[in-house]
A and B are shown apart, each in its own frame.
Chain A
Amino acid sequence: MATLLYSASLNDCIARWREDGLMVFGPSTAGGVSGFREVEDAGSLDLDLVLTRSTLKELFFPRTEPMLGYRIGKQQIETEEFIPPEGRRIIFGVRPCDAAGMQVDDALFDWDYHDAYWFRRRDSSVIFSIACTHSDAFCMCTSLGLAPDSTKGSDVLLRPLAAGNGWKVEALTERGENALSSISSLLKEGGDAPAPLTDVPVKFDLEACRRWLADPENFESRFWKEISERCIGCGSCTYLCPTCHCFDIQDEGDTYQGVRRKNWDSCSFSLFTMHTSGHNPRATQSARWRQRIMHKFNYFSLKFNVNSCTGCGRCTRECPVDMGVTETLQAISTLQR
């Protein structure tokens, strides 16, 4: 026997959470583009998508957010600190790869500085992940040591039932248990069979890649230029990545009033490393692509003992010139004999 949530009860669950003052978010499509948005009912959820176009990270690390404001008057200077809203949130229908991305960024945002913007939202959110019964040609979680039913970063894991009429429910954290207790009357006990999970083939040997990347001999390899020759230097792979976390701090305003904002930034851009002198230590696009791969699979894993890629495949799926992490790591696997 296991705890079950039938799809037919989902609408009531959402209503219950909302009555309790929680906001409910989930995958939904607007303007033809899917992402995580606040929903009022189950009908607005798009739970059949393999993955949303934009990632879960946007709910924790928005594209742009104000940090502080200032106003200089004749007599005084006023400042205002913007703190992210504290509202409690249920995020329903996350894919395990996106949820795993949360843990990657937890490590980063709690490293030399505890990022209040990130953790305030983390602490007030409950992540309900749904194990994958479908995948596409770009999915590669299994190459990163994850799986269609990974539990990393999730508070509750839902396993689809074979009949397609609901999920087997498993709380993974205390936050998850609490969120389930408020809908306990809507949960059932039963022995319904779970649906088979999708089979995601392993596409490269991650350990072999990591060894190659860690070898200083390969830093100047011709490989980097060849593999990234067609890169046009846009930021779509980084902005659609569930773990890419770089940001820039920008002041908008004038002498008398303005706002300091935290904006997404991307290592794909030449300006990212441009010095005031005009010198750019990463002068070419291939140096920028190398940095992205090195950061994800060498530096970050050495520092935090976790890969900053969860295998969602969005980088390749959305690349205007069909590049991405998969091809690069597959090629490195081959270089490694």
Chain B
Amino acid sequence: MSIQEHYRSRAKELLSSGTVKMVIGYGTGSTPDRRRPVFITSPDETDRLVLDKACRTNLSGYLLREGLLSDQKQVAVFFNLDGVRSLNILAAESQLETAQVLVLGFRIEGEEVTALQGERAADFKSLIAAAKEQRKSQPPHELQEKLEAMTPKERFSFWEAEFSRCIKCYACRQACPMCWCRRCVVDNNQPQWVNTSSHTLGNLEWNLLRAFHLAGRCVECGNCSRACPADIPLHLLNRRMSDEVQGSFDHYPGMDEAQEPVLASFRKDDPETFIL
């Protein structure tokens, strides 16, 4: 049985038995190469579910839809490992209870899509631990290497040029599983902390602020870069922050729901080299 068939029948089972009230997964899109999020509530509709290598979007943000989890019922969601990590962070940040979320886990490697064993966030702990070790030895992105080799001035010019295309549509924020603030700081206008204009300063302020806000929280799912209509390589900023956090504090976000947020916790042996 293909992984898609396997999960279609599992979804049917879960909905028929009333174990979950909804399955959030992927369905066909408007062109053959596109997939789109689908919300299945009836066992008769599980044939709409698709699972293949085009299923890239991290769906965890949908769990925070107003009222979805307020009735204590369970929801099943298709997640790759990044998705499970974002689920753990959302739980650690008191946004949901993992007990209400059933994971339909999968992994995409090249052309191959395989099922992950387990259905609760905690079941994936050893896989996440392995991913943490693997990340340490992961070669840097080609562009990232080029950026590291630049002088600070050259690097600033690079990002200035990239951000100049930002149209402030906030697709990066809306697509980000970690951007769960009910009211984003840029939407506060008394006072207006961040310029809403998409001029050089406003774009720098917005994109850098978001990168810092995600330090130690980003699971590198890539939702932001995929959503960006201006093709700004936002994931590179987040990746750089993740490298820093992992290097300095051995922190890999989303290990489990008990993990403390790195920027909101303190250990006596934390390095202080960055304090001037």
Which A residues fall within an 8 A CB radius of B? 30-33, 53-54, 63-64, 137-138, 229-230, 232-236, 238-240, 248, 250, 252, 261, 263-264, 266, 269-271, 316, 318, 320-324, 326-327
B226 — which chain A residues lie within 8 A by C-beta? 320
B227, A320: Cβ atoms closer than 8 Å: yes
Most B-side CB within 10 Å, residue of A32, A232, A323: A232
Known contacts A240-B229, A252-B195; is-contact A234 B36 (Cβ 8 Å): no
A166–B29 alpha-carbon span in the complex (Å): 37
Instruction: Answer yes or no: B151 CB below 8 A from chain A CBs.
Output: no
Nearest CB on B from A147, distance (A): 22
B39, A230: Cβ atoms closer than 8 Å: yes
Instruction: Answer yes or no: B2 CB below 8 A from chain A CBs.
Output: no
The stretch among B111-119, B166-174, B244-252, B263-271 that forms the contact with chain A is: B166-174
Instruction: Answer yes or no: B198 CB below 8 A from chain A CBs.
Output: yes
One of A234, A248, A324 near B196 (C-beta < 8 A): A248
User: Interface code B23-60, partner A: CB below 8 Å = 1, 0 otherwise?
Assistant: 00000011100111111000000000000000001000
Instruction: Answer yes or no: B231 CB below 8 A from chain A CBs.
Output: yes
B61, A232: Cβ atoms closer than 8 Å: yes
One of A63, A232, A266, A318 near B229 (C-beta < 8 A): A318
Most B-side CB within 10 Å, residue of A30, A239, A269: A239
B230, A33: Cβ atoms closer than 8 Å: yes
One of B30, B169, B173 near A137 (C-beta < 8 A): B30
User: Interface code B158-185, partner A: CB below 8 Å = 1, 0 otherwise?
Assistant: 0001100101111101110000000000
Question: Nearest chain-A residue to B172 (Cβ)?
Answer: A234
Known contacts A271-B187, A326-B30; is-contact A230 B167 (Cβ 8 Å): no
A235, B170: Cβ atoms closer than 8 Å: yes
Instruction: Answer yes or no: B240 CB below 8 A from chain A CBs.
Output: no
A324–B31 alpha-carbon span in the complex (Å): 13
Most A-side CB within 10 Å, residue of B34, B38, B61: B34
A263, B36: Cβ atoms closer than 8 Å: no
Which B residues fall within an 8 A CB radius of A? 29-31, 34-39, 57, 61-62, 161-162, 165, 167-171, 173-175, 187, 192, 195-199, 202, 223, 226-227, 229-231
A248–B31 alpha-carbon span in the complex (Å): 35
B187, A234: Cβ atoms closer than 8 Å: no
* 21 contacting pairs across A/B (C-beta < 8 A): A31-B231, A53-B229, A53-B230, A63-B167, A63-B197, A64-B198, A138-B31, A230-B37, A230-B62, A235-B170, A239-B167, A250-B197, A263-B198, A264-B168, A320-B171, A320-B226, A321-B37, A322-B30, A322-B35, A323-B36, A326-B30
A232, B174: Cβ atoms closer than 8 Å: yes
A230–B61 alpha-carbon span in the complex (Å): 10
A33 — which chain B residues lie within 8 A by C-beta? 165, 230-231
A284–B54 alpha-carbon span in the complex (Å): 29
**A-B pairs, 10 with minimum CB distance:** A320-B227, A234-B171, A322-B36, A235-B169, A234-B174, A64-B197, A232-B174, A322-B29, A230-B37, A236-B169
Question: Nearest chain-B residue to A318 (Cβ)?
Answer: B229
A264, B198: Cβ atoms closer than 8 Å: yes
B174, A266: Cβ atoms closer than 8 Å: no
B30, A324: Cβ atoms closer than 8 Å: yes
Nearest CB on A from B81, distance (A): 21
B30, A234: Cβ atoms closer than 8 Å: no
A327–B223 alpha-carbon span in the complex (Å): 23
B187 — which chain A residues lie within 8 A by C-beta? 269-271
